[in-house]
Amino acid sequence: MKEEILWNDDYATGKVILIDKPLTWTSFDVVKKIRGAVRVTKVGHAGTLDPLATGLLIVCTGKFTKQINTYQAAEKEYEGSFILGSITDSYDLETEPKLHVDIAYLTHEVVHQATTKFVGEIMQVPPIYSAIKKEGTPAYVLARKGREVKMEARPITIKSFEITSIDLPTINFRVVCSTGTYIRSLAFDFGNELGCGAYLSSLRRTRIGEFGVDQAMDMEQFMKELDLIRPIRNDKIEKG
């Protein structure tokens, strides 16, 4: 028992852990893995990333779980890609593309110009494949059962929306936005603005407030760090 308490001390007291979330992992998968590894029950994350997204996930333990709401409210930055000319029910690759449209009429100028419609304070409708609860049930659960789900528009702020490269039907982008912004919905709305449809094909969160993904560890690195800490603390126990 003495060994476990000493080994857990920093995490039990409180830490902020920056993780580069792996593709296909849910945010809860990361929390569950860390909770089991550090043997501390008070662990949470600040801002969900979809399984098909990668990038920065802030995980808090101990007293720092009280800061989760503060981190969640911070400005976010994303990089990713849209596919133009099709849509999906989930607005990303979770569901199959459909309604293929000829996009030969699109020019680079038209694509760049369309971004201006989405900069500033706007109203956005979240995707039905989201964790927002409707009558106590996550919307995505109802959507996967084929139930009709009505989502209400809500205000968000997009500080900047930049197209970084174009190789039709793929466009790459960078977005800086407020909390509560769904990049999948931005893809859907952007496709509507262009008149051809679009869906999110890749997404990476690169920043939350002052924290950047370049400061984060992947899960393998995190587990290796724990393996380094454990023998050091065991040695302290033996010397004590």
Q: Which residues, at least 6 apart from 192, have a Cβ–Cβ distance to it below 8 Å?
A: none
Q: Which residue has the higher pLDDT, 137 or 227?
A: 137
**What does the pLDDT read at residue 228?**
67
- Percent residues over pLDDT 70 in the chain: 91
Which of the four pLDDT bands, split at 50, 70 and 90, describes residue 123? very high
The amino acid sitting at 43 is V
Instruction: Single out the residue of 17, 3, 30 nearest to residue 230, CA to CA.
Output: 3
Place of tokens 């509507």: 192
Which of these is catalytic: 9, 10, 20, 50?
50
Q: Do domains 2-72+210-239 and 76-208 have the same CATH topology?
A: yes
Q: Which amino acid is at 238?
A: E
Model confidence at 3: pLDDT above 90? no
pLDDT at 106: 97
> What digits encode the pLDDT tens for the residues 186-216?
999 999 999 999 999 999 999 999 999 999 9
For 2-72+210-239, the fitting CATH number among 3.40.630.10, 3.30.2350.10, 3.40.50.300, 3.30.365.10 is 3.30.2350.10
pLDDT for 9 equals 62
Tell me the helix, strand and coil percentages in the chain, rounded to 5. Answer: 35, 30, 30
The mean pLDDT value for 89-116 works out to 96
| In the chain, domain spans | 2-72+210-239, 76-208
| Ranges 15-24, 106-115, 126-135: which has the least confidence | 126-135
By CB atoms closer than 10 A (0-12, 13-18, 19+), residue 18 is middle
User: Quick one: which of 169, 131, 173 has its CA closest to 151?
Assistant: 131
Which helix (H) or strand (E) element contains residue 81? strand 76-84
Lowest mean pLDDT among 25-29, 62-66, 153-157, 235-239: 235-239
Task: Provide the 3-class DSSP secondary structure of residue 137.
Answer: strand
Residues in CB range of 208: below 8 A, 6 or more apart: 46, 47, 56, 58, 71, 74, 75, 76, 77
Residue 50 is among the residues annotated as catalytic for this protein: yes
Q: Quick one: tokens of 194?
A: 């262009």
Global model pTM greater than 0.75: yes
Question: pLDDT over 90 for what percent of the chain?
Answer: 77
Nearby residues of 71 by Cβ (< 8 Å), 6 or more positions away: 46, 47, 58, 60, 208, 209, 211
- Phi/psi at 75 (5° precision): -60, 145
Question: Rounded mean pLDDT of 142-148?
Answer: 87
Residue 174 CA: distances (Å) to CA of 74, 161, 162, 205 = 17, 6, 5, 10
CATH number listed for the domain at residues 76-208: 3.30.2350.10
Query: Taking Cα atoms as reference points, which of 72, 34, 68, 20 lies closest to residue 204?
Result: 20
φ, ψ for residue 57, nearest 5 deg: -125, 125
pLDDT, position 96: 96
Instruction: Identify the band that residue 226 occupies on the pLDDT scale cut at 50, 70 and 90.
Output: confident
Task: Reply yes or no on whether the pLDDT at 238 is more than 50.
Answer: no
| pLDDT tens digits, one per residue of 15-37 | 999 999 999 999 999 999 999 99
